[in-house]
Amino acid sequence: MKPADAFLHQARRIALTGCAVSLLAAAAGCTTTTRQVSETRPVMRNSAPSAMSELRIADTALDSGNVELATTLYEKSVQADPKSVPGLTGLGNTLYAVGDFTRAGVYYQKASAIEPNATAPLIGIARVAIHQRRFDDAIATYRRVLALTPNDPLASAGLGAALDLKGDHAGAQAALRQALKTNPGDPLLCVNLGLSLILGGNPREGANVLLDVTRFPAAPPQARQNLALAYGLLGNTEAAAEILARDLPKASVKDNLRYYEIQRARLAQPGAGDVAMVPAPARAAAPAVKAAAVPGAQVQAVSLR
């Protein structure tokens, strides 16, 4: 073989070898890519919210005052499952929030019939009974809840409110103090205990209890209003007016101060022991019976939120 031919032959071998290496590399690259694709799981679109997540959204909406959204979501839950205890209870809560207590009671009763030991609808039933001034029914229902969940703070606060509204202040205070042993510092229990002491003719002790609640920036307005009542009954109208002005317009502040004056005069009479359970002209003291505030609710001296 001539040197030139040998050179050309060698060049062809090198070129073919290079092509083979390139093809192997390409093949290897394709093989790796194919394996990666086969091992990668497809990206799924976000699924629709579950029934439980929608109920949580509804609960949050109701707590924030968006009754319309809460109602829509609870209705959707009940349409999907007519025996949904959380959905039926939620619808009861939305009706309770707007003051339709009779219809709220219907939904609570439906939920309770499906699940007799569910405490949420039972608490709703008791709250409706209080608004309808069926205090014995409310007391019995709250005690049933406490038999199921001993020392539950919401049920204990409701029981205290029902006993106070019935006039049994000693019983209310005993129930609230017992609950505070296992729920120390619970604001709902403290607010109701403070008011119970005021209604029972001991505004000074009631004020001391309420001062422990109102010193926190996030204290509920109800605690401040009850504290103003205590100061008003003690004759400290300046302090009462200052506290009321944080939540009420001037006209309502004047109305409440006038109410306190009437109560002071009544308590000064011989034989008078308890604060009279008569309606106040503006938002004033009220036993707390639920955790979430009802938007726009106007309450009276011893009514409910």
User: Which range of residues forms the domain containing residue 209?
Assistant: 151-305
CATH number at residue 85: 1.25.40.10
Residue 229: CB atoms within 10 Å? 31
What's the pLDDT score for residue 178? 96
What's the pLDDT score for residue 49? 57
Which has the closest alpha carbon to 131: 156, 88, 98, 177? 98
Residue 45 resides in a domain: no
Answer yes or no: do 295 and 224 share one domain. Answer: yes
Answer yes or no: do 159 and 89 share one domain. Answer: no
Residue 6 resides in a domain: no
Q: Largest alpha-carbon pair distance within the chain? A: 141
Residue 3 resides in a domain: no
What's the pLDDT score for residue 76? 94
Q: Supply 39's token pair.
A: 């091992």
Answer yes or no: do 84 and 203 share one domain. Answer: no
Residue 7 resides in a domain: no
Q: 129, 149, 169 — which closes off a domain?
A: 149
| pLDDT one-digit tens code per residue, 140-166 | 999 999 999 998 999 999 999 999 999
∠ Cα 296 197 151 (to 5°):
75
| Torsion on CA atoms 274, 280, 283, 287, rounded to nearest 10 | 30
What's the pLDDT score for residue 180? 97
Answer yes or no: do 63 and 97 share one domain. Answer: yes
Q: 149, 171, 204 — which closes off a domain?
A: 149
Which residues of the chain, if any, have pLDDT below 50? 2-48, 278-284, 291-305
Residue 132 resides in a domain: yes
Answer yes or no: do 143 and 186 share one domain. Answer: no
Number of domains in the chain: 2
